[in-house]
Chain A
Amino acid sequence: MSDQVPEVSVSPARKVFLSGASFVWVIPLAALFIALFVAWQNFNSRGPLITVEFEKGAGIKAGETELRYRDVTVGVVEKVGFTDGLGSVSASIRLDKEVGPFVDNGSVFWIVQPEVSAQGITGLSTVLSGVYIEGSWDDNIGGEADTFQGSSEPPLIRPGEGGLEIAFRTVANGQLTDNAPILFKGIEVGKVGRARIAPRGNFAIVEALIYEEHRQLINDSTRFWDTSGFSVSIGPAGAEIDFSSIATLIGGGITFDTFVSGGGRVSDGTVFEIFPDRETARNSVFSTSEVEPLELSVIFDENIAGLAVGAPVELSGLKIGSVEALSGVVDYDQFGDSRVRLNINISIQPARLGLPDEVSAESALAFLQNRVASGLRARLASASLLTGGLKVELVMVPDAPAARLTGEVGSFPILPTTENEMSDAAATVEGVFTRINNLPIEELLNAAINFLDSAEGFISNEDLRETPGDVRSLLSELQGLVSSEDVQGIPVSLNATLQRVETLVATIEQQSIAERLSEVLSAAATAATAVETSVEGVPSLIAQIEAVAAKAETLEVNELVSELTALTRSADAVVGAPDAAALPGSLKRALDELNYTLQELREGGAIENVNQTLASARNAADSIAVSSRDLPQIVNRLTQLFAQAGRTIEGYNKGDELSREAASTMRDIQKAADALASLARTIERNPNSLLLGR
């Protein structure tokens, strides 16, 4: 290889345009052209840009949210922003070129969101894909527009959904919601739009659509009624709940029927009335349709509870209206005092008055004015005895003071009133209730509570609890004492002794002895009386012999008994009779013999023996007297004892409550008392028997 560079022949270059340019430059140029063409084509195929203003964005996203027409995408939101002043959301939508011309000034746009309603679930696809904007326009190219007001809800009538457009007027508070169905024999033949309040505010207007294929079902005698909610009826067949469908139960619904044939065709825009139920709807066919009600004011002097809003207003027993509002009114100027009066507003439906000519509020007012002049008055009357509800009655009052149905401008005409008629039954019932009301139940209960409290305190007293036991033991002792043979033997011994003494005394006519005996007798009588008094006091004694217990223990009854017994013995000894039973009979003989002996011994010294005997007898009598003197003391002691027991029991009585123990005690006392009583009665019947033994 030689590094000799070959000779280079240099020739003048012919400068031709682009002769030095490489062919490869075609490629970038081609690319440029292609890019320009694509750009142009892209721009050329773009549709118009429209702006739709919505109240709320509801999830619209630029570049994602689509505009759909009949569920086909015809545009995309390019930009989301706000209108001037942030008043609303504006979405700029790039339309497809082919639909652009159709989006004219009659187009409607709304945002489709998932919605769960009684009629079903709509827009479910938007849960995953996000919301989209649905557009609706007709198939005619109309006036151009590029700014639209988006609506918040789908239009009632969508393109291609022709039908009969009617409207409903309702005064009831029907729960009609958007898209509530209009059913006919259970089949949905239309739907209801959004309810609006009529400009005057006295009823609601609802737009509705009857689908095209059901248009012939409606004529001008068709009556619509509300099937919202459900009705419950209880009859011989049992309880019955009736509702049309779940949808109407929740969202409300309307159904209709044509009760009479021969109605004329209806055109779009006809206004129908919605009746609350089928019966009303049926009846309305034969009566004049209701017009604007006549509002009246009625002022009653008395404010009687029981009148409520919605209470009927009746004329001759026929309901012609209802109470609209209740309020109190104080008007010194008008009534002359400051009493609160009942002011009610009633609305009267002129159609119910059956006026012959034009049916309107004015004609009804004129009619009522005429009637008021001839004595028509309003009064409150009982509507129901059970509930005490009241109604307003319009009645003819003969000889009523002159009055007119007048009203100031700007207020309702005031209907004159007359005396209220409350039914007697209501008044009676009211009286009964008043009386029951007035019963001092509170005080009674308080007293009872107090009584029970003190009774409880008393019964729970320790002393008192011990009392019945003490009383019973005392009484059993007492009973044992009384029923002891010694005591029971006392009268017998006494009798026997005293009999002898009496016989002796009577026979020998010994003055001093007799006097002493007399003293003894009176003392015994006193004792007996005391016993009697005691016995009389037994019922009260019965209750209480508690304190007796202690004293009864120390009572000297035993001593008494032994003393008496000793006395008896000494008496026996004094009398010295060998045969006690034969003594009375033989005494006379003995005395005769004594007399004889005395006569015989008048000259002898036998008298001295007699004197000695008598002295002995006197001593014996003295002893008896001494004993007798002790008896009243014993009796007194017993009396005190019983009195004390009586007091105790009296205190016990105050408790007004006897425990079972006390009751058994009482029975014991009763027994003791019976024993005492029988003893006492014996003595009382014949006090002398104590001495005489008879």
Chain B
Amino acid sequence: MSITEPDQQSRRDRMAVLARAEGRQLRELWSGLGIDPAFEMVRGPETGLATVRGRISGDGAPFNFGDVTVTRASVRLQDGAIGHAYRLGRDQGAARLCAVIDALSRDAATAATIASQVVEPLRETLAARDRQRQAETAATKVDFFTLVRGED
């Protein structure tokens, strides 16, 4: 295979966080790193559509149910490292930045810096939002109690 990063799971995990990250926080954390590598665009950044599939009754045969906007980018650093990025929406600058971060993460030392200073803070922001929403939803749970029980 063309991609030789040892741990594809951690790469996927990082890409999932970068894809969901809000553009402004992503840019802030990135500029905090103080890295500005030279790179060339291999493809994009370009915005297009992905057609979303669902499953009939939730777990049955697939069907198409609408499109989402997606922006993708692929870059090559001067040392030849390739990076790819996909994100929902149309933020081309963010997609390009995510591709650069992906390419830089081929280097283990840089990957560790990026993980601790960019990816983990983003992940924590996203997790905090999820926790808050779950807690707000949980507060609307119905606690049924029995008023009268008929016993003969």
A and B pair up:
no
